């Protein structure tokens, strides 16, 4: 009989929200510092906007919304399920923030300043099979810059990654590659048409290891000679300069490949000029599954915690083409809030004071006393102190409990004698220290509370 929520969805209580807001607020403030402005798009998009953008598998994972009114009126009920569902559902819930962003840019192109730098933090919905760490509703947290081909865009993504994780206290390694290099490798091994097959196979290297990747490449039609050529790309070690030199020789004949290597080299030079602090590693085996990337690709891993990538992105040359706006190159990044949450929890990196919302609780010692402290509480709030008056005149034990469970650091117990004497006492609930002030000495009360906060 207890009510429940749909599987794969979550409620977030006060503590979780404080932690989630800490992550989102950190990311937002970094996005803003680089000139990215927030936008929001509706949860529902027309299915014509969403269908065909995420592959056949993605189309199946879209949540569809039944047309309002009588959805079946005039519908031929003898159609198959597939046709039927497209008759009775014209809208779906957004599956990611990238397609709505492309739709937004095309729809509002005349009102936007290009390069258009936007960030967007909203939930997305996928009818995936729920499992540990995979939800049917989750937040995405994206920044994109669209309307310029400059590598300064890639640099900004790297800098934002660096600053976000520095502020959160997470040591990370940012891996970089370039899709043009992957195209070059496909050319070099004699299968320029198989670039996507190679990418999809290589993308799994972290999960399944090199041997299984090679097996998959065979399955996808590459012969052992081609695989001989690809192998060094997957296993190359050493410093960036050395990796680049080896790959330059391998891809000398491929113009695209060489161009990708130039871009990587220039990006590493800019990263040095900007003084990026986190580790940045060139990894030719980095592929990223998404089809729309055409240039640089990134992925971020936490160094001290075992989990998949916590952030990723890349350059795309034709995101808005599907909606009719050509030649809009862009670069974007997406932070994985749920995984970052797990990393901060696992490494115990959330600040302790996050959950505390109230500085001071006034106990309720009866209606006359409550009426009196209500005025003092109001005066303290006007000076920026967050406080509550316990609503009911119940046993002190219960009121203490309330303060302690909510993590409220100070309690004031003003009974008849305090009211008569016009004094307010303030008890520090962790140290037990108790001080008394004249009721109009607000600054005295505030100084005690603020001294505790700055600890």
Q: Which of residues 384-423 bind a second copy (CB under 8 A)?
A: 384-389, 391-392, 402, 405-406, 408
Task: For residue 295, give the 3-state DSSP assignment.
Answer: coil
For 411, phi and psi rounded to 5 degrees? Answer: -125, 135
* Under rule CB under 8 A, residue 159 binds a second copy: yes
Does residue 74 bind a second copy (CB under 8 A)? no
E strands, 303-438, in order: 311-316, 330-335, 360-362, 387-389, 410-412, 423-428, 434-438
CA distance 295 to 316: 6
Q: How many CB atoms lie within 10 A of CB 326?
A: 8
Q: Using alpha carbons, select from 333, 351, 455, 277 the residue that is nearest to residue 23.
A: 351
Residue 442 interacting with a second copy (CB under 8 A): no
Q: Which window, 113-121, 249-257, 282-290, 427-435, contacts a second copy (CB under 8 A)?
A: 113-121
Chosen residue from 134, 212, 241, 371 binding a second copy by CB under 8 A: 371
- Minimum Å gap between C-beta 352 and a second copy is 16
Site track 170-209 with a second copy (rule: CB under 8 A), x = hit: ----------------------------------------
450 binds a second copy (CB under 8 A): no
| Binding of residue 10 to a second copy (CB under 8 A) | yes
Our CB check for a second copy shows the closer of 51 and 347 to be 51
Q: Is 275 in the site for a second copy (CB under 8 A)?
A: yes
Binder to a second copy among 57, 76, 81, 352 (CB under 8 A)? 81
Are 287 and 177 in contact, with CB atoms under 8 Å apart?
A: yes
Binder of a second copy out of 22, 24, 51, 123 (CB under 8 A)? 123
Q: At which residue do the structure tokens 């580790």 appear?
A: 279
Structure-derived torsion over alpha carbons of residues 85, 87, 90, 91, reported in degrees to the nearest 10: -10
Q: Which two tokens stand for residue 164?
A: 């976000």
Q: Which of residues 28-47 bind a second copy (CB under 8 A)?
A: 32-46
Query: Which helix H or strand E contains 91, and what residues bound it?
Result: strand 89-93
Task: Pull the structure tokens for residue 192.
Answer: 């320029």
**19, 53, 103, 427: which one binds a second copy (CB under 8 A):** 103
Contacting residue, 51, 88, 347, 442, with a second copy by CB under 8 A: 88
Binding to a second copy by residue 77, rule CB under 8 A? yes
Backbone angles phi, psi at 177, to 5 degrees: -150, -175
Nearer to a second copy, 89 or 200 (CB): 89
């Amino acid at each position: 009989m207890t009510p429940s929520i749909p599987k794969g969805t979550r409620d977030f209580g006060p503590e979780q929200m404080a932690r989630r807001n800490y992550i989102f607020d950190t990311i937002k403030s970094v996005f803003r510092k680089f000139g990215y402005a927030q936008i929001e798009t509706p949860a529902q998009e027309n299915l014509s906007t969403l269908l065909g953008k995420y592959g056949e598998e993605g189309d199946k994972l879209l949540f569809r919304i039944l047309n309002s009114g009588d959805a079946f009126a005039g519908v031929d009920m003898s159609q198959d399920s597939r046709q039927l569902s497209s008759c009775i559902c014209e809208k779906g819930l957004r599956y990611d923030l990238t397609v709505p962003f492309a739709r937004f840019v095309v729809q509002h192109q005349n009102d936007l300043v290009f390069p258009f730098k936007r960030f967007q933090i909203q939930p997305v919905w996928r009818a995936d099979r729920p499992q540990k760490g995979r939800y049917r509703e989750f937040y995405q947290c994206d920044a994109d810059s669209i309307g310029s081909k400059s590598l300064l865009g890639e640099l900004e993504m790297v800098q934002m990654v660096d600053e976000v994780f520095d502020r959160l206290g997470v040591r990370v390694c940012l891996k970089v590659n370039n899709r043009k290099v992957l195209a070059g490798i496909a050319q070099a091994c004699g299968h320029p048409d198989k670039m996507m097959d190679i990418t999809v196979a290589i993308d799994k290297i972290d999960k399944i290891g090199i041997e299984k990747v090679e097996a998959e490449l065979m399955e996808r039609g590459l012969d052992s000679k081609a695989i001989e050529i690809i192998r060094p790309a997957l296993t190359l070690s050493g410093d960036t300069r050395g990796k680049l030199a080896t790959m330059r020789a391998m891809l000398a004949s491929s113009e695209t490949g060489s161009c990708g290597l130039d871009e990587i080299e220039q990006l590493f030079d800019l990263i040095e000029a900007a003084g990026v602090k986190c580790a940045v590693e060139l990894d030719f085996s980095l592929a990223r599954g998404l089809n729309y990337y055409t240039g640089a690709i990134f992925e971020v891993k936490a160094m001290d915690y075992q989990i998949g990538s916590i952030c990723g992105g890349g350059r795309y040359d034709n995101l808005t083409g599907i909606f009719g706006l050509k030649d809009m190159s862009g670069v974007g990044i997406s932070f994985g809030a749920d995984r970052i949450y797990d990393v901060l929890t696992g490494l115990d990196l959330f600040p302790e004071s996050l959950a505390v919302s109230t500085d001071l609780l006034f106990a309720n010692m009866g209606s006359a006393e409550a009426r009196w402290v209500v005025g003092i509480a109001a005066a303290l709030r006007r000076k920026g102190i967050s406080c509550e008056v316990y609503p009911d005149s119940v046993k002190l034990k219960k009121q203490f409990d309330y303060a302690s469970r909510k993590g409220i650091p100070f309690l004031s117990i003003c009974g008849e004698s305090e009211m008569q004497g016009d004094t307010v006492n303030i008890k520090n609930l962790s140290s037990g220290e108790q001080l008394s002030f004249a009721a109009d000495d607000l600054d005295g009360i505030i100084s005690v509370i603020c001294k505790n906060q700055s600890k």
